């Protein structure tokens, strides 16, 4: 809606691909160099871009710090964290917490596996939305039209033979997940990694987040992992209770 701001913001994803010089930015924006320069300068003043020694621009530190703050005032996260840690202490596997927000699902917390073989993932990273167990739970709860629209719009990359192949299959899977109230990903993203996940609900019953336990099958088989399901669900329910119940504990910020 605001052309100038629109252009300025478009620079950021562009720089996320890697550093770029003024000319490249101007070209990809389709504007004159002087225009790009002024936009970059403004971004620079705010610390969103950084000018490295070779004069090229890349994303700046303030952006990282801001994102950090953004995550820190997600209240689900605060409440969930100790539960995730406790679950990790019980089973030793990687525990994730994820939320859905406007066509993306992303991890907002993680407790690392205590086994030497760890899976790759990072807080803040958008998850493989068509296969991840947490994504299924979050999308399954969307209003039907929105869910359908989103499913149609997605790509369905075949990470493995067991990846969700297309929108129809995905919608069917979501329906199933919706009914059973939990989800799995059995080798749909990484051949050897399995997950079980459960939803965290707000006071109105809507799914506000999802948590999962993941483990490579060199550590435990899928069947063994599934035996953790009741525990995972109980943990998720405990978080739900605390989240919707508004525990009076810890109300530091007004």
Partner DNA sequence: CGAATGCGTTGCATATCCTGCAACGCTCAT
Partner DNA sequence: ATGAGCGTTGCAGGATATGCAACGCATTCG
> Would you tell me which residues interact with a second copy (CB under 8 A)?
1-2, 4-6, 8-10, 12-13, 16-19, 38-39, 41-43, 45-48, 50, 58-73, 99, 101-102, 104, 106, 108, 112, 122-126, 253
Give yes or no for a contact between 164 and 173, defined as CB atoms under 8 angstroms apart: yes
Least Å from the CB of residue 137 to a second copy: 17
Per-residue tokens: 126: 């958008």
Q: Any idea of the CA torsion for 241, 244, 250, 252, to the nearest 10 degrees?
A: 160
Q: Which is nearer to DNA, 40 or 79 (CB)?
A: 40
Q: Of all helices (H) and strands (E), which one includes residue 226?
A: helix 222-226
Q: Which is nearer to a second copy, 179 or 250 (CB)?
A: 250
Give yes or no for a contact between 200 and 240, defined as CB atoms under 8 angstroms apart: yes
Q: Which is nearer to a second copy, 223 or 252 (CB)?
A: 252
The binder of 21, among DNA, a second copy, none, by C-beta within 5 to 8 A per type, is DNA
Sequence-ordered list of residues with C-beta below 8 angstroms from that of 130, at least 6 positions apart, any chain? 154, 155, 156, 157, 163, 164, 170
Residue 116: other Cβ atoms inside 10 A: 6
The binder of 66, among DNA, a second copy, none, by C-beta within 5 to 8 A per type, is a second copy
The binder of 101, among DNA, a second copy, none, by C-beta within 5 to 8 A per type, is a second copy
Q: Which is nearer to a second copy, 63 or 213 (CB)?
A: 63
Least Å from the CB of residue 233 to a second copy: 25
What is the CA 161 to chain-centroid distance, rounded? Answer: 23
Least Å from the CB of residue 58 to DNA: 13
Nearest to 227 by CA among 218, 242, 215: 215
Residue 18 CA to residue 192 CA, distance in Å, equals 31
The binder of 253, among DNA, a second copy, none, by C-beta within 5 to 8 A per type, is a second copy
- What φ, ψ does residue 99 adopt, rounded to 5°? -125, 160
Residues forming contacts to DNA in the complex (CB under 7 A) are: 2-7, 21-23, 31-35, 37-39, 55-56
Q: Which is nearer to DNA, 11 or 84 (CB)?
A: 11
Per-residue tokens: 4: 């100038």
Least Å from the CB of residue 9 to DNA: 11
């Amino acid at each position: 809606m605001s052309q100038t701001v629109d252009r300025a913001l478009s620079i950021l994803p562009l720089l996320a691909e890697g550093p770029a010089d003024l000319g490249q930015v101007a070209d990809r924006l389709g504007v004159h160099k002087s225009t790009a320069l002024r936009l970059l300068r403004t971004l620079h003043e705010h610390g969103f871009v950084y000018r490295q020694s070779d004069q090229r621009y890349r994303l700046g530190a303030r952006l990282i710090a801001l994102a950090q703050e953004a995550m820190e005032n997600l209240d689900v996260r605060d409440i969930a964290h100790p539960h995730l840690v406790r679950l990790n202490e019980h089973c030793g596997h990687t525990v994730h917490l994820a939320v859905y927000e406007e066509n993306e699902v992303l991890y907002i917390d993680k407790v690392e596996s205590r086994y030497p073989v760890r899976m790759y993932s990072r807080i803040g990273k958008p998850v493989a939305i068509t296969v991840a167990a947490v994504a299924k739970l979050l999308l399954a709860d969307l209003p039907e039209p929105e869910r359908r629209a989103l499913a149609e719009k997605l790509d369905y990359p075949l990470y493995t033979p067991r990846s969700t192949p297309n929108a129809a299959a995905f919608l069917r899977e979501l329906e199933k997940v919706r009914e059973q109230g939990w989800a799995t990903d059995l080798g749909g993203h990484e051949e050897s990694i399995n997950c079980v996940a459960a939803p965290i609900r707000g006071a109105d019953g809507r799914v506000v987040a999802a948590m999962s336990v993941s483990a490579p099958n060199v550590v435990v088989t899928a069947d063994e992992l599934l035996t953790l399901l009741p525990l995972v669900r109980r943990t998720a329910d405990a978080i739900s209770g605390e989240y919707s119940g508004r525990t009076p504990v810890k109300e530091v910020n007004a």
